[in-house]
Amino acid sequence: MTPSANSPYTTIDLNWTGRPKSIASALIQSDGVNALIDPGPASTIETLRAALAQNGLAVQDLHAILLTHIHLDHAGAVGALIKENPKLDVFVHEFGAKHMMDPSKLLASAGRLYGEKMDFLYGNVLPVPEENLFALAGGETVTIGKKDFTALYTPGHASHHLAFWDAGERTAFVGDVGGITVEGDTFIMPATPPPDVDLDLWNKSLDAILALQPARLFLTHFGYQHNPAAHIARYRKKLAEWTALAKSLLESGKSEEEAGKEFVEAVAAETRRGVSAASEAEHYIFNGGLYLSWLGLLRYAKKQEKSRPAS
């Protein structure tokens, strides 16, 4: 986790649920200022603390947190970090800021999905004081030391999703807009949880990222992609395939539960065919939250069906 001599960034592997290469937080160190992009869930805060120590830092040495979005695997630790370091500035999309102040709806929604696994997966999620929050709409510049990051509004995965663009390094930190693929792999898997999945917006967000001509993308799940155009082309194809599968299952006449089970089985089988080692395939299947992705695509397909003009 030591940064290269030429990079202000360090990839922190949060080792979520004991699984390496599941959630990455990016540590920025520039001109004595320290920040994190997506600090991860509260359940991995001890791992985060140890990684900071390896880089000569403590939580008290952090100055800012940049959030791509507020889903618990990206932002659940923020409240706990601020309790430890009340001076932390938190940059988040304006649609997500209110849920950082009061995470009750976010937690209730996650609780319905994860039940008794909530604490194991995400830990104790604390509210963030309003005075620590800086709400962004997209287009703003966030300065960390000598590094400037342009906030891009990138919905599709979530209505409150941002990407952060460092023009000097030609690096885009894209959260979940770029999907799930471990650095060095070509296999790719969408993350399409409810309630905000929108393929039209998603493709526009990918267009906006490509227009920057980035040299590399940083994905929270997991690490760098060094050929952004090829990565995004693969990702668009996979998003379209998953959407078509969900639509087909919705129209099949099966119950939603039965169709969801079929979706998960089909995607899991595809993953096992596409990834060489069985343990790696299971890694993707776990991190992909396949039934959750089914629910998001199901919701999207239903919206599309309702919006279609009557013949």
pLDDT one-digit tens code per residue, 63-107: 999 999 999 999 999 999 999 999 999 999 999 999 999 999 989
The mean per-residue pLDDT over the stretch 21-36 comes to 97
The alpha carbons of the chain give a radius of gyration, in whole angstroms, of 19
Amino acid at 305: E
CA distance 110 to 114: 6
Residue linked to tokens 């209110």 = 98
**How do the domains of the chain map onto residue ranges?**
9-227
Q: Provide the token pair at 12.
A: 């922190």
Omega before residue 195 within 30° of 0, cis: yes
Phi, psi of 219 (to 5 degrees): -105, 140
Judging by beta carbons within 10 Å of its beta carbon (0-12, 13-18, 19+), is residue 253 exposed, middle or buried? exposed
Per residue in 125-167, pLDDT (tens digit) is 999 999 999 999 999 999 999 999 999 999 999 999 999 999 9
Q: What is the pLDDT of residues 191-244, one digit of tens each?
A: 999 999 999 999 999 999 999 999 999 999 999 999 999 999 999 999 999 999
pLDDT band at 112 (very low <50, low <70, confident <90, very high): confident
Length, in residues, of the chain: 311
- The answer to whether the predicted template modeling score (pTM) of the entire model surpasses 0.75 is yes
Structure tokens at 196: 């905000």
Task: Please name the fold of domain 9-227.
Answer: Metallo-beta-lactamase; Chain A (3.60.15)
CB distance 76 to 220 below 8 Å = no
Averaged confidence pLDDT in the chain: 94
